[in-house]
Amino acid sequence: MTIKFGTDGWRGIIAEDFTFDNVRYCAQGVSSYLLELGLAQRGLVVGYDTRFASEDFALAVAEVAAANGITTYLCDKAAPTPVLSYNVLHHQAGGGAMITASHNPARWNGFKYKPEYAGSASPEIVAALEKHIAAVLTDKAVKSTSWANALERGIGKSIDPASPYLEHMARMVDLQGIKAASLNVVVDPMYGAGAGYLPSLLSGGNIQVHEIHGERNPIFPGMGQPEPVAHNLVDLSRAVLKQNADAGLALDADADRFGLVDEKGNFITPLQVFALLALYLLETKGERGALVKSLTATSMIFRLGELFNVPVHETPVGFKYIGTIMTSENALIGGEESGGFGFRGHIPERDGVLSALFLLDMMVKTGKRPSELVEYLYSRVGPHHYRRDDVTFDSEKRSILEKRLQEARPDTIGGIKVVRHDNVDGTRFTLEDGSWAIVRFSGTEPLLRIYAEGKTPDRVDVLIAETRNLVGV
C-alpha cells in the first residue's frame, strides 16, 4: 500500500485503508520529518473532528509523536481545522496533525498536516512527508508510548484549542458591532467540529443565533456528505424561513468551509460568497492587497481586481497553492470554489467561522441582507451565475474518461466560440463571451467535477450539459 496526500492531506475509508496501523505510519513519518528538520522541540499540535473514532485516531498520533521525543499538544475536544492551525501558531509549534476527512462522506476519515506557518502543506512538504511515510511503510518501525506516560514525562500536554482562537477572533472582527445589531441568523455546523463556535462568539447581545445540527453525529444524517452545498442545506433553508431569519450560515464538518443561505431560503453559491467577501474587504473596510483565486473560482475576482486596482493571482485547485501565494504577496484574501476562504492577518488557510463573521459584519455595516448584497455585487461586476455537477464513475474507467478529455477540442460550446483551452489543472474551456467550463477529477474520491460560470443560469445549464456530453458522462 502507498499513502498519498491529495489537495489537502490523506483520506481513506475507515477500517479499509484508514486504519490505526496506517495512521500510526503517518504519525511516524511526520515525526521523522520533524526530527530531520530540527523542529521536534517546538512540538506537534494534534487535533480531530467529530467523525467516527477521530479522537482515538488522534490519540494514536499523539502517542507516536511523544514516543519520538516530540513535545505533543493534544486537543482536549473536537475542534475545527482552522482552530488546530491557529494553535500551531499560538504554541509556536513545529507543525500540526489534524484527523479529519473534511467534507467527505461519513465512511471516510483523513490525516491533514499543517506546517509551522499554519497553512496547508506545500507540494514540497507533501513530497517530503510522503517520502518519510513510504520508508515507514517499508520497515514498519513505529515508536509508541501510552499517553499517560507522555503526560507524566511532561512531553505530552493536553490543551484547550478553543480559547486562544476565540480571543484571536475578537481581534479580527468587530464582534461588538455584530452583537449589537438586530439580526436573526441560523447556524448549521452540519454535526461537525464547528458546533458552538458562532453562538459562543455572538452571545450576549441583540443578535439572535439559532443553531441546528449542533450535536455530534458521525453519520451526518440527511446529507450525502457534510459539505455546505445547496442539496445538503435543505434543513437550513427551512429553518431560515421558519425563524424569519436574516441569513443562514453553514460550516462543513471541520469548519474550514463556509456556505450561505439568504433571507429567502435561497442558496448563495460559493463563487458569489467569495466575491462578496472580497468586495467587503476592498470597499466596506477599505483595505488593499492582492486577491488569490483557484482556477475554478469566479471570474468576478478579476473584475474586482480591475475596479480596485489590485493584482489577482490564479492557482491550481488546493489551498496549498493559494496559501503559498497569500504568504508571498501578503494577499488580502484567497478563495476557492468549494467555499474555502483565507484572510490576511489570520492564517494562510481556509476558515469557515471567520468567513461567516466577516459576512455578518458586511451585513451590519451595509445594512443589506444577503440577497441585497448579491444584487449590489452584480451592480458592480455584472451578473455571474455558477453550477457544479459531481459525477460518480467506476474507478476502472478513469483512463477512458481521461483519454476523452485529452482529445476534446470543441470549436464551440453552446454556440459560443471556444477561445482558449488549457490543462493547468483539469481541462478548461474559456469562451468568447467570458463564460467558462472546467472538468476535474476529485483528488480524494472517484468523482468527476464539472464546473461552469456564465451570465445567466440557462447559459450555465447549457455549458454543463454540453461539457458532460464531451466527456460522455
3-class DSSP string for 57-74: HHHHHHHHHHHCCCCEEE
In the block, residue with C-alpha cell 490543551 = 159
List the domain boundaries for the chain.
Answer: 10-162, 182-381, 385-471
pLDDT one-digit tens code per residue, 272-282:
999 999 999 99
Same fold, 10-162 and 385-471: no
Total-model pTM: 0.94
pLDDT at 444: 66
Find the DSSP H helices in 107-244. 123-139, 147-153, 162-172, 175-180, 197-202, 234-242
pLDDT at 270: 94
The pLDDT-based confidence of 15 (bands split at 50, 70, 90) is: very high
pLDDT-wise least confident of 135-144, 322-331, 340-349, 395-404? 395-404
In the block, residue with C-alpha cell 511503510 = 137
pLDDT at 318: 86
- The pLDDT > 70 percentage for the chain reads 99
Residues with Cβ within 8 Å of residue 235, at least 6 apart in sequence: 188, 212, 213, 222
Q: What are the cell numbers at 154? A: 511532561
- The pLDDT > 90 percentage for the chain reads 88
pLDDT one-digit tens code per residue, 406-435:
888 999 999 999 999 998 888 999 999 999
Residue 7 pLDDT > 70: no
Looking at the domain 385-471, which fold is it?
TATA-Binding Protein (3.30.310)
Q: What's the CA gap between 101 and 220, in Å, rounded?
A: 13
Q: Residue 114: exposed, middle, or buried by beta-carbon count in 10 A (0-12, 13-18, 19+)?
A: buried
pLDDT-wise least confident of 145-154, 388-397, 412-421? 388-397
pLDDT one-digit tens code per residue, 251-262:
999 999 999 999
DSSP string, 385-440: EEEEEEEE--GGGHHHHHHHHHH---SEETTEEEEEEE-SSSEEEEETTS-EEEEE
pLDDT at 408: 87
Closest alpha carbon to 165 in 357, 34, 363, 365: 357
Residues with Cβ within 8 Å of residue 145, at least 6 apart in sequence: 63, 66, 67
3-state secondary structure of 464: helix
Residue 308 pLDDT > 90: yes
Looking at the domain 10-162, which fold is it?
Alpha-D-Glucose-1,6-Bisphosphate; Chain A, domain 3 (3.40.120)
Looking at domain 182-381, which of 3.30.9.10, 3.30.1330.10, 3.40.50.1100, 3.40.120.10 is its CATH number? 3.40.120.10
pLDDT-wise least confident of 192-206, 237-251, 381-395? 381-395
Q: What are the cell numbers at 423? A: 490543462
